[in-house]
């Protein structure tokens, strides 16, 4: 049970919280990046269908 006390210790938390914030920020940036990439790719597919004379909405 001492390991739990070590994790909850204020010194340990003060060292972990900045790292957790950095990981969270990177995760949010990555999610937005993936979303933008996916939207761009779908747009390119739609344009290609229009160039080929197909209906892009079906």
How do the domains of the chain map onto residue ranges?
Answer: 7-49
pLDDT tens-digit series, residues 10-38: 667 778 788 889 999 999 999 999 999 99
Pinpoint the alpha helices (H) of the chain. 2-8, 10-51
Three-point CA angle 20, 26, 31, nearest 5°: 125
pTM of whole model > 0.75?
A: no
């Amino acid at each position: 049970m001492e390991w739990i006390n070590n994790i909850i210790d204020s010194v340990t938390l003060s060292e972990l919280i900045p790292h957790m914030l950095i990981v969270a920020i990177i995760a949010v940036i990555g999610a937005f990046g993936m979303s933008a990439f996916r939207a761009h790719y779908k747009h390119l597919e739609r344009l290609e269908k229009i160039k080929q004379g197909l209906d892009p909405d079906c």
